Structure 1
Amino acid sequence: MSCIPSDLFLADTEEKYLVPYAVAPEYPQAILTLLQKTKPDFLHLQNDFEVQAISRLREQVEALGVKLFLPASDTVENCIDKYKSYNIWSQAGIKVPETIMLHTPEDLKLAFETFGPKVWVRAVTGGGGRWALPTDNFDFGKLWIDRFQGWGECTAAACLTSQSITWLSIWYEGELVVAQTRRRRSWNFGNRTLSGVTGITGVAETCSDTIVDQVAQDSILAIDPKPHGIFGVDMTYDQQGWPNPTEINIGRFFTTHYFFTKAGLNMPEIYSNIALEEKFPTLDRKINPLPNGLVWIRGMDVEPVMTTVEEMEKMEQCQL
């Protein structure tokens, strides 16, 4: 199902359904009617707004006999809203970039005075670098927020580095099932945005770091002492080289999860087996079971390619 008609042409499925946007007032009734008609065993979402919408409808969905594998309602709300996440982490003593809500231009001035000379502006909700802007110019920052009518819906934070890493994990009633770390080497089409962020990872690399493992788990447990479902912790390194959590992608996989499947760790299969049958995997290691140094390269209108860091470095040295 999709809210965009043209996307349905790309779906390799037997049945295709057009639904309203998850934030539309008619979405709840439309989705419940669809579930009643199709009677699926299990429902999974891959969009923040849909995860939130279905989380708020979970009792009605489950009453129709449809299984869900979602974190607690409060957890979903606290992760979808990045400023709520920030406050929880800050109060828990987890190192995060200082952040303030932007309700008025005066708040933006305060951000420059406090975090300057450059600040990072972004929307409180949504993915793909929504409204993201690094800027050292107050007037430009104000015009940017005005353009999106974003006052009260975005934050300003101290700028970190461009280096980011993600810890994707599945939990069951407070117990970690599996987690794998992926470093982002580049964004696709990042040179076409002001922020450099697109939400489309171009080159990713498997890696492991005990500090990242601990920061990710601390970040999750600060928000939910009994995690359940999918938690993808995005972290960005500060100037001292420490990974700061910036958001948790909650209840959904990131877009390059097939990378892990191709490498031998099929997290969607693990997730589905648990949701449908409470069947758990047998793994040599729960954390970072994949080898370091595998690389996943994505483009547009081409199949992704998996290679290694060594092969990448050889290619980089071939420049004429």
Structure 2
Amino acid sequence: MAAVAPSRAISRRSLPLLRVLVQLLRLRSSTRAAEATTATGVRIRLHRPRAAVAGPLPALLWIHGGGYVLGLPEQDDALCRRLAESLGIVVAAVDYRLAPEHPYPAGLEDCYDAMTWLARHPDIDARRVAIGGASAGGGLAASLALLARDRGEVTPVCQLLVYPMLDDRTSARSDLDDSRWRLWDRRSNRFGWAAYLGDADPETAVPARRTDLAGTAPAWIGVGTADLFHDESTAYSKRLADAGVPCSVEIVPGAFHGFDLVMPNAPVSRSFFASQREALRAALADRA
């Protein structure tokens, strides 16, 4: 699959067409998920386990990927349903505002609004709320963990960062400008970060540039060795550990960006999902 997958999925020229295709996906999506809207208008897609479970449930706030410029929560319906069913939890997928129309901090604030809404919901155990996302969603989850620490309203029990988009400085690394990357290369990365940051100060807006990571939620980080985000993911995991934040790392040899979405039934993808599931199971366990 890596041999035939494109190196660049999103660019300034392809974005309008891709957004049309994503909207078609929304029209064809499953109706099994309930939907809610926060007081500020943020749409949340809710996946609950079909089997009845007593008492307030633990929950995961899931943040979709798309380079900060593309995507909808419907694109991860299958993943969210699998997590909800296998763990007996509520998975809430947030429809955050996208760049470049809505640069930082719009998307992050939408995710924060969704997290606080989720924690206050009467059916949710506020002591057991995790946050997570893939690619740009993983970058937003890392930023959300920092914002949650700073504001002190909700204390997530885990930040699940799936090949996260954490560091805009990767775009400036000429040593990464080669043909091995799939679905997301250095040019796509430069476009996504420029759109997201706008006029914002990267030292504040980019999670990997934040100097103090202490006190954030325990983390799970997964990434492949053929992913543009491999180096920044492993560097971030080391900085978390150095800051005293528990962090487990799953490195997948030979895996490219989004490999588990392209081939979800491959053994390596099933193993990658199982690692995420078990990290969430441990983090969301009832310790009362």
Normalised-by-shorter TM-score class: 0.3 to 0.5
Which structure's residues are more often strand, by fraction? 1
| TM-score, normalised by the number of residues in structure 2 | 0.35
Task: Give the structure-1-normalised TM-score.
Answer: 0.33
Going by fraction, where is helix more abundant, 1 or 2? 2
